[in-house]
Amino acid sequence: MTSRIQEMLAGKNDVIDYAAVIKKYPWLAQKNQNCILSPDSDGLLCGLFVSQYLNWKVKGFYDGKFLILEKGILPRDCIFLDMEIFRNGVKSVGQHMVLFNKDQIPNNWNNFDDCLSANNIRGYDGKHNFPQKYPLATIHLLLGVIGSVQKIGIPKDAICPLLYTDGTFKNLFNYPDNCLSWLKFLHADNDKSPLHKIFFNDHYSISSLMLALKELFGELRLIAGGSRGGDKIKFSNGKGQLINFDTKKQSLKRETVDQAEEFLKFLSGKTGWKYNPKVWSWNNLSHFKFEKGSIKPSQGRYNDLISKNPVSLAMTSTLGIEYTLDPQNIF
């Protein structure tokens, strides 16, 4: 694993070599790809971004319990954004902690060969490096990679939503040392990077950022009709049941799509990344159910989990690893 890490570190100095990343994952910069998103603000921002700059098409959503996918499209023919897919030949980009112990690499670890994982690039694992895990969102990783090969503008209005997603603003203040380490790793201190405008800007004082976030929260509540959840597409519940899906029409329910589009248009207005409904699949959808669970981290339990060949997994805390199994062999 060490050699795989080093080939994407510039000069072996613990900063990312974007050219090496794109050489290893050339599909990251290729146009006209199909993608599947996580259904939260990070995934939706990723979808807007890649559709704007790479003309990718959004063919579905995956939340770890269900995959909602346009009929006739195969999961293997899509790039999964904001999740790590543990399948050789399936392309994905994510920022979760997926390795438990780098001193005991699983035999089937090559299942992640087609996955760009922020923590894996840096050689971080849950046992040794959990406090140093990636503290930003997948959209920031994508901005760094794609911003290394084409110019990406970040308007002032985009800064607040890009700090909001995945609770990034909380991590900046809770874990400043770790955030600064990762920003240096991503070359965000370089004024030519789109990340520089987000994290090293002079637009916001602490108080003005708080006011901007307060206004953002209010706008999100309006999108959700006064409640929380306006920044995500919800199609499963805590019991692992499919919700907000019209099985007769084979589509997400109209009110769910309306809310999602309102949020996407809101983000589009802030970022300048155009929302084109023609490249987002809202109808003629199949749905696939997975088996989701969690374990308490230990080497033995992790080894047992990996031997079951999970579709995806993430160490969400020092007390839990969430995972998804594919008993129907959808992949």
Q: For the residues of 138-155, what is the DSSP string, one character each?
A: HHHHHHHHHTTTS-----
Report how far residue 231's alpha carbon sits from residue 254's, in angstroms, rounded to the nearest whole number: 16
pLDDT at residue 9, rounded to an integer: 65
Report how far residue 59's alpha carbon sits from residue 114's, in angstroms, rounded to the nearest whole number: 19
pLDDT at residue 227, rounded to an integer: 81
pLDDT at residue 225, rounded to an integer: 87
Report how far residue 177's alpha carbon sits from residue 297's, in angstroms, rounded to the nearest whole number: 25
pTM: 0.95
Taking Cα atoms as reference points, which of 313, 325, 326 lies closest to residue 126? 313
Q: Please, which residues bridge with residue 251 across strands?
A: 246
pLDDT at residue 140, rounded to an integer: 98
Type of residue at 64 = G
Q: What length is written for the chain? A: 331
pLDDT tens over the chain, length 331 residues: 554 545 666 555 689 999 999 999 999 999 999 999 999 999 999 999 999 999 999 999 999 999 999 999 999 999 999 999 999 999 999 999 999 999 999 999 999 999 999 999 999 999 999 999 999 999 999 999 999 999 999 999 999 999 999 999 999 999 999 999 999 999 999 999 999 999 998 888 889 999 999 999 999 999 988 887 789 999 999 999 999 999 999 999 999 999 999 999 999 999 999 999 999 999 999 999 999 999 999 999 999 999 999 999 999 999 999 999 999 898 8
Could you give the residue ranges of the DSSP H alpha helices within 89-205? 118-122, 126-129, 138-146, 156-164, 168-174, 176-185, 194-199
* DSSP classification of residue 19: H
Q: Please, which residues bridge with residue 289 across strands?
A: 66
pLDDT at residue 202, rounded to an integer: 84
pLDDT at residue 331, rounded to an integer: 86
pLDDT at residue 4, rounded to an integer: 52
Report how far residue 226's alpha carbon sits from residue 241's, in angstroms, rounded to the nearest whole number: 25
pLDDT at residue 18, rounded to an integer: 97
Report how far residue 3's alpha carbon sits from residue 330's, in angstroms, rounded to the nearest whole number: 32
pLDDT at residue 13, rounded to an integer: 63
pLDDT at residue 301, rounded to an integer: 98
